[in-house]
Amino acid sequence: MNLEAEILIACEESGEVRRAFTRLGFVNVWSCDLQPARDGSDMHLIGDVSEILKEEWDMIIGFPPCTYLCASGARWRVGNPERQEKTAVAIEFVKAIHNAAPLVAIENPVGRLSTTWRKPDQYVQPWMFGHGYTKKTGLWLKGLPLLQPTDIVPVTMPGHIHRQSPGPERARIRSLTPTGLANAMAQQWSKAL
Q: What would the pLDDT profile of 55-67 be if each residue is shown by its tens digit?
A: 999 999 999 987 7
CB 127 within 8 A of CB 155: yes
| Strand pairing report for 6-10 and 59-62 | parallel
**Closest among 39, 61, 95 to 184, alpha carbons compared:** 61
CA 58 to each of CA 1, 3, 32: distance values in angstroms, whole numbers, following the listed order: 12, 11, 15
Query: What is d(CA 75, CA 62) in angstroms, rounded to the nearest whole number?
Result: 25
The count of C-alpha atoms lying within 13 angstroms of the C-alpha of 188, restricted to the half-sphere facing its C-beta, is: 18
Q: What is the DSSP letter of 36?
A: P
What is the share, in percent, of the chain residues with pLDDT greater than 90?
A: 68
- Block means of pLDDT (10 residues each) for the chain, 193 residues, are 95 96 98 94 96 96 82 60 83 95 94 88 97 93 98 84 59 75 98 96
